[in-house]
């Protein structure tokens, strides 16, 4: 499932550290599948887990590391296939495991980690990220490196895996997670929810939502989960959700997952939160006046840009957020209230009054989630559309999404499809290269695309 790209990117870092998150890479192996069996007691916010990690060894090694936050204490580590563990210890956000003997490259085995504690977010350069208690449950939003707040993992965007997620929680509460709900079993005062994720997923997109939710359909393959008293507001705010998904399918190709879910928590959230196959909104995002419709469009589009096709390195965040922002403008264009060109021009004028000290191709930790990355990324995409023309541009985007479906990419993967489209359209290579250079690599804001 994993390509050699992930390992190569890790080694090319030189210091074997993610330059954006500051977290050391876990080298020499890939995790192909996570089997998580969790028990969550809501009132004391107590989580205990058994994580079975299906590991494929890529280099001979006698030790390995996993990411796990300090609030989760590792209690026992074991392995199958005759692999013996000499010792393990946990420190600095890592579980460090030493084996009795060297494990040869090409070996596959299952590593079992038993752990538990009171989960809490991980402190990062962007604030506290990961598992959060709510007024009546919990939510998980892990971008970019909050997944270790609730399970041991290889927490880097270039590593995707499939998942089985089983959560046992107190029966009054609903548990929502990624993928397909394959079983729900009540026993005494608890209920066990089993979700299966067959499409490879990055760790930061794995989520659990626990609360008092009611489920109701929004359309053919769209569903909402919300507290019962919010239902009328949710149905009003998301009444175009299915039309939005159908529109994106007509532009970008088939929706990449079995269905799309939105979770609306009773709590207020600063911004909506993305996960694979679902998005999380706060009660403050459903005022009933559609003022946050652009955010609904933005989060849905991430299912194509960021989730089904993920970035390998955080420095390329513009590929995720630039496209998601541009999809907001495409939705407005589809509705006929404005054109993407007009919306792009208005945001360009705002950008022109802001600092010109950001490089889109590598904005750095501090500016990774800066609004300039989102808007300049979107205008870059619009500039490519203007250069290629609609037919060639949207064909290139569809080919890019189809070729990279359920994998990870670097910008050259997208640019390669753009170059092929430009060649077919008779556009000079130098003209395209100059456009990409000034928008991606130069700090001054280029001229608005005519």
Of 200, 190, 232, 214, the C-alpha closest to 54 is 200
Whether residue 235 sits in one domain with residue 96: no
Q: What is the CATH number of the domain that holds 196?
A: 2.60.40.1730
For residue range 294-321, what is the model confidence (pLDDT) as tens digits? 999 999 999 999 999 999 999 999 999 9
Domain boundary at 275, 303, 331, which? 303
State how many domains the chain has.
3
Whether residue 353 sits in one domain with residue 291: no
What's residue 9's pLDDT?
A: 54
For residue range 197-216, what is the model confidence (pLDDT) as tens digits? 999 999 999 999 999 999 99
- Domain presence at residue 385: yes
Whether residue 319 sits in one domain with residue 291: no
Which pair of structure tokens corresponds to residue 90? 């946990």
Whether residue 180 sits in one domain with residue 64: yes
- Domain presence at residue 446: no
Q: Does the pLDDT at position 13 exceed 90? A: no
Of 181, 189, 194, 290, the C-alpha closest to 233 is 290
Whether residue 318 sits in one domain with residue 264: no
pLDDT band at 14 (very low <50, low <70, confident <90, very high): very low
Q: Does the pLDDT at position 87 exceed 60? A: yes
Q: What is the CATH number of the domain that holds 224?
A: 3.30.2010.30
- Domain presence at residue 62: yes
- Domain presence at residue 44: yes
* CA 51 to chain centroid: 21
Q: Does the pLDDT at position 58 exceed 90? A: yes
Q: What is the CATH number of the domain that holds 353?
A: 1.10.390.10
Give the separation between CA 439 and CA 420, rounded to whole angstroms: 19
Whether residue 68 sits in one domain with residue 111: yes
Which pair of structure tokens corresponds to residue 333? 């264009």
- Domain presence at residue 445: no
Q: What are phi and psi of 88, to 5 degrees?
A: -145, 155
- Domain presence at residue 448: no
Q: Does the pLDDT at position 3 exceed 50? A: no
For residue range 231-250, what is the model confidence (pLDDT) as tens digits? 999 999 999 999 999 999 99
Of 26, 31, 49, the C-alpha closest to 162 is 31
Whether residue 86 sits in one domain with residue 102: yes
pTM as predicted: 0.95
The rounded mean pLDDT for the chain is 95
Domain boundary at 240, 275, 303, which? 303
* Domain assignment of residue 246, given as a range: 213-303
- Domain presence at residue 449: no
Q: What are the residues whose beta carbons fall under 8 Å from the beta carbon of 396, sequence distance 6 or more?
A: 388, 417, 418, 420, 421
276-281: Cβ within 8 A, 24+ apart = 276/178, 276/179, 276/197, 276/199, 276/201, 276/202, 276/205, 276/206, 276/207, 276/303, 276/307, 277/178, 277/179, 277/197, 277/303, 277/307, 278/176, 278/178, 278/207, 280/139, 280/141, 280/207, 280/209
For residue range 339-352, what is the model confidence (pLDDT) as tens digits? 999 999 999 999 99
Whether residue 113 sits in one domain with residue 29: yes
Q: Does the pLDDT at position 2 exceed 80? A: no
- Domain presence at residue 352: yes
Whether residue 159 sits in one domain with residue 249: no
CA distances from 334 to 133, 290, 342, 380 (A): 38, 16, 13, 20
Whether residue 355 sits in one domain with residue 285: no
**Within 10 A of 429 (CB to CB), how many other CB atoms are there?**
10
191-197: Cβ within 8 A, 24+ apart = 192/166, 192/167, 192/168, 193/166, 193/167, 193/168, 193/169, 194/164, 194/165, 194/166, 195/163, 195/164, 195/165, 195/166, 196/163, 196/164, 196/165, 197/162, 197/163, 197/164, 197/165, 197/276, 197/277
Whether residue 122 sits in one domain with residue 108: yes
Kindly state the helix (H) or strand (E) to which residue 74 belongs, with its residue range.
Answer: strand 72-79
Whether residue 319 sits in one domain with residue 175: no
pLDDT band at 16 (very low <50, low <70, confident <90, very high): confident
Kindly state the helix (H) or strand (E) to which residue 430 belongs, with its residue range.
Answer: helix 429-440
Domain boundary at 176, 205, 234, which? 205
């Amino acid at each position: 499932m994993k390509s050699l790209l992930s390992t190569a990117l890790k080694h090319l870092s030189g210091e074997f550290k993610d330059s954006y998150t500051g977290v050391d890479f876990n080298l020499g192996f890939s995790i192909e599948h996570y089997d998580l069996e969790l028990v969550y007691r809501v009132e004391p916010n107590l989580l205990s887990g058994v994580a079975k990690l299906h590991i494929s060894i890529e280099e001979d090694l006698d030790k390995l590391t996993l990411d796990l936050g300090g609030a989760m204490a590792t209690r026992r580590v074991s392995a199958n296939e005759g692999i013996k563990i000499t010792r393990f210890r946990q420190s600095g956000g890592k579980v460090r495991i030493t084996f009795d003997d060297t494990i040869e490259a090409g070996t596959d085995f299952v590593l079992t980690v038993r752990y538990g504690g009171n989960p809490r977010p991980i402190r990062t350069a962007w604030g506290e990220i990961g598992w959060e208690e709510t007024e009546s449950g919990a939510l998980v939003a892990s971008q970019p490196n909050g997944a270790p707040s609730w399970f041991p993992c290889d927490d880097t965007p270039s590593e995707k895996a499939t998942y089985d997620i089983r959560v046992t929680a107190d029966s009054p509460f609903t548990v929502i997670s990624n993928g397909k709900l394959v079983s729900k079993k009540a026993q005494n005062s608890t209920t066990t929810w089993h979700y299966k994720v067959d499409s490879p997923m990055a760790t930061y997109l794995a989520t659990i939502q626990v609360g008092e939710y009611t489920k109701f359909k929004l359309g053919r393959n769209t569903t909402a989960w919300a507290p019962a008293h919010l239902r009328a507001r949710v149905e009003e705010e998301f009444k175009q959700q299915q039309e939005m998904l159908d529109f994106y399918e007509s532009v970008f190709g088939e929706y990449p997952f079995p269905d799309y879910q939105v979770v609306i928590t009773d709590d207020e959230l600063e911004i909506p939160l993305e996960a694979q196959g679902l998005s999380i909104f706060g009660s403050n995002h459903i005022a009933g006046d559609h003022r946050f419709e652009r955010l609904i469009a933005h989060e849905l589009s991430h299912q194509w840009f960021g989730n089904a096709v993920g970035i390998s390195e955080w420095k390329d965040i513009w590929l995720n957020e630039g496209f998601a922002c541009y999809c907001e403008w495409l939705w407005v264009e589809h509705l006929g209230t404005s054109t993407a060109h007009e919306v792009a021009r208005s945001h360009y004028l705002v950008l022109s009054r802001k600092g010109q000290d950001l490089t889109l191709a590598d904005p750095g930790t501090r500016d990774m989630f800066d609004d300039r990355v989102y808007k300049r990324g979107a205008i870059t995409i619009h500039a490519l559309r203007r250069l290629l023309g609609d037919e060639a541009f949207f064909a290139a985007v569809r080919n890019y999404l189809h070729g990279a479906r359920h994998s990870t990419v670097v910008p050259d993967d997208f640019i390669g499809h753009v170059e092929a489209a430009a060649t077919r359209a008779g556009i000079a290579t130098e003209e395209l290269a100059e456009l990409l250079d000034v928008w991606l690599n130069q700090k001054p804001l280029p001229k608005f695309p005519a």
